[in-house]
């Protein structure tokens, strides 16, 4: 396990676990946390044997948002090119799963919204309470949340600033899986292992189309998709997948 003062990283097979490690302040994000997450995401995308990532928080809490004490002292927890928490402006190419226990509030919720999948414990609580403090969410929540859940639910959460229990988040489709308290990380690791077992080129291309196609017109959608998925169809991994199916064995991916 690699450790820093504020962020832990641990490689579990093909999965990188990233843990915000400031439990004494509910893992509030300061500049050290932001740079630690950014470094972990760089590693996630750089090491070819890493196929998925999981981000979580230590001490039974995901993240309470920006460290306001550090902010009041003039510190802004942003990383150039990656934004708040070293993540929200430039999520990794590799699939990233949020494993949420306890609170994911304000910037903590915006970290969740920058992830591809969300696993939450029953007692997890989400929220964007900035309007209650004279502020607005500014780390992606205002545009990501209404793309993830129904418009009026997003407006309710943003304009009231109320806390949102995991059961409601799951009912709205934001949370992928709900687990007993204390079980979010293991469930996220199981989900990450399923992703990691699939063809890397196909996973990467699929994620890219989902992310980029939001503003494609109907007329251009199939042509633009083909530019991304066509090379996957003609890859050695695609041929290996077909052979493995016929031979009734697990495929061996070469990422080419």
- What one-character-per-residue DSSP string does 89-116 give? TS--SS-EEEEE-SEEETHHHHHHHTSS
Q: What is the pLDDT of residue 256?
A: 87
- The Cα–Cα gap between 252 and 93 comes to 22
Sign of CA pseudo-dihedral 163, 109, 10, 24 = negative
The catalytic residue among 10, 47, 130, 168 is 130
The catalytic residue among 110, 168, 219, 220 is 110
Q: What is the pLDDT of residue 4?
A: 66
Does the 2-196 domain belong in CATH 3.30.365.10?
Answer: no
Confirm whether 255 is a catalytic residue: no
Question: Could you tell me if 225 and 209 are in contact, meaning their C-beta atoms sit under 8 angstroms apart?
Answer: yes
- The Cα–Cα gap between 192 and 14 comes to 9
Distances (CA, A) of 47 to 87, 95, 113: 18, 13, 24
| DSSP at 60 | G
Residue spans per domain, the chain = 2-196, 200-246
Confirm whether 247 is a catalytic residue: no
Residue 16, judged by CB atoms within 10 A of its CB (0-12, 13-18, 19+), counts as buried
Pairing outcome for strands 52-57 and 2-3: unpaired
Residue 238, judged by CB atoms within 10 A of its CB (0-12, 13-18, 19+), counts as middle
The tens-digit pLDDT sequence of the chain (256 residues) is: 444 689 999 999 999 999 999 999 999 999 999 999 999 999 999 999 999 999 999 999 999 999 989 988 989 999 999 999 999 999 999 999 999 999 999 999 999 999 999 999 999 999 999 999 999 999 999 999 999 999 999 999 999 999 999 999 999 999 999 999 999 999 999 999 999 999 999 999 999 999 999 889 999 999 999 999 999 999 999 998 999 999 999 999 988 8
């Amino acid at each position: 396990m690699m450790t820093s003062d504020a962020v832990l990283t641990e490689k579990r097979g093909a999965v990188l676990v990233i843990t915000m490690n400031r439990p004494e302040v509910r893992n509030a994000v300061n500049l050290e946390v932001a740079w630690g997450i950014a470094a972990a995401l760089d590693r996630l995308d750089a090491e070819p044997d890493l196929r998925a990532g999981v981000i979580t928080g230590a001490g039974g809490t995901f993240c309470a948002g920006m460290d306001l004490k550090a902010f009041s002292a003039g510190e802004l927890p942003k990383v150039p090119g990656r934004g708040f928490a070293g993540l929200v402006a430039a999520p990794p190419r590799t699939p990233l799963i949020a494993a949420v226990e306890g609170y994911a509030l304000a910037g903590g919720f915006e970290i969740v919204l920058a992830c591809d999948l969300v696993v939450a414990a029953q007692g997890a609580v989400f929220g964007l309470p900035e309007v209650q403090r004279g502020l607005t969410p500014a780390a992606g929540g205002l545009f990501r949340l209404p793309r993830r859940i129904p418009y009026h639910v997003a407006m309710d959460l943003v304009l009231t600033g109320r806390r949102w229990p995991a059961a409601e988040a799951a009912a709205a489709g934001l949370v992928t899986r709900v687990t007993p308290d204390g079980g979010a990380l293991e469930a996220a690791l199981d989900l990450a292992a399923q992703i990691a077992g699939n063809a890397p080129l196909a996973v990467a291309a699929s994620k890219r189309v989902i992310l980029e196609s939001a503003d494609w017109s109907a007329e251009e959608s199939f042509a633009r998709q083909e530019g991304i998925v066509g090379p996957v169809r003609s890859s050695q991994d695609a041929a290996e997948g077909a052979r493995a199916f016929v031979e009734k064995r697990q495929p061996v991916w070469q990422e080419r």
